[in-house]
Amino acid sequence: MEWAVIFEPENLALFGNGIVITLWLLFASLAIGGIAAVIFALILTGPWATLRWIVSAYTFVIRGTPLLIQVYLIYYGLGQLEWIQARWDSIWPWTYFKEPFFCALLAFSLNTAAYTAEMLAGAIRETSAGEIEAAHAYGMSRFQTMLRIVLPSAMRRTLPAYSNEVVMMLHATSLASAVPNMLDVTSAASRIYATYYLPFEAYLAAAAIYLTASFALIGFFRFSEGRLLAYLTPQKH
């Protein structure tokens, strides 16, 4: 194996740019998707039947179709419609659809929002009745109880499952390489492979980057779980 090729300055710079784009895509989609997920979870557990049906249908479709198909539908579908292309030079928000990064970000944000919303909604439904009764006895309204008691508790209890979602989203960012002109880690490996015909070196280097990032994220979430979920740990007597 010719590992020296990977460590050439231009190839290291290529991987460096790929890492920056991958992490930016990951954290931006998690932030946007997380905000949407909270709203969707509140709707899924709320009294609004019509909105609940719409959000349920959305999460069903997103979770029932592959992420790669969703990326294709946004970039090659919405992004290539003549109606949008006629407006993407001057009319907001259609101006963003000519940007490959935006199309990938939109697909990943919608995807993680659906999965996270269902996880969070499940945690909300499993909130102890005693916590809710105590909040009502304290004089809190339904909105205050949700905002101050139920939602924070549900978010903490969702953390172990959400950590898996974050790691899966990190791995899923490799699908951004399917969008032309996107330079993520997988795209960087593909360019090195195409230039030097060294598939093992290029893709093993990419795998090492994803593995390192995964361990870092897992370590962060384990630390967070230890701090935020300590009250759920059985006490020793």
Torsion sign over Cα 8, 9, 12, 14: negative
- pLDDT of 215 reads 95
How far, in Å, CA of 183 to CA of 101, rounded? 9
Alpha-carbon distances, residue 106 vs 62, 96, 112, 116, 237 (angstroms): 13, 10, 10, 15, 50
Digit-coded pLDDT (tens) for 132-157: 888 878 788 788 888 888 888 888 88
For 68-121, the pLDDT digits (tens) are: 999 988 888 776 667 666 766 676 666 777 788 888 999 999 999 999 999 999
Kindly report the number of other CB atoms within 10 A of residue 140's CB atom.
16
Name the DSSP letter for residue 234. Answer: P
Whether 70 contacts 62, CB under 8 Å: yes
Residues with Cβ within 8 Å of 118's Cβ and at least 6 positions away in sequence, in order, are 41, 44, 59, 63
Ramachandran class of 196: left when φ > 0, alpha when ψ lies in -120 to 50, beta otherwise: alpha
| Look-up of token digits 């390489």 | 177
Summarised one tens digit per residue, pLDDT across range 4-36 is 888 888 999 999 999 999 999 999 999 999 999
**Class of residue 52 by CB neighbours under 10 A (exposed 0-12, middle 13-18, buried 19+):** middle
Domain boundaries, the chain: 3-229
Judged against a pLDDT cut of 80, whether residue 48 lies above it is answered with yes
What contacts 24+ positions apart, CB below 8 Å, involve 158-163? 158/116, 158/119, 158/120, 158/122, 158/123, 159/221, 159/224, 159/225, 159/228, 159/229, 160/221, 160/225, 160/229, 161/119, 162/116, 162/119, 162/221, 163/217, 163/218, 163/221, 163/222, 163/225
SS3 101: helix
Q: Give CA–CA dist 26/214, Å, rounded.
A: 12
Q: How many CA atoms lie within 13 A of 191 on its CB side?
A: 19
Query: E-assigned strands of the chain?
Result: none
User: For the residues 202-210, what does the mean pLDDT come to?
Assistant: 94
Q: What is the mean pLDDT of residues 33-60?
A: 94
How many other CB atoms are there within 10 angstroms of residue 160's CB atom? 14
pLDDT attached to residue 169 = 95
Q: Which of 159, 166, 177, 179 is nearest to 213 (CA)?
A: 166
- Report the 10 Å Cβ neighbour count for 217: 16
Q: Which fold has domain 3-229?
A: MetI-like fold (1.10.3720)
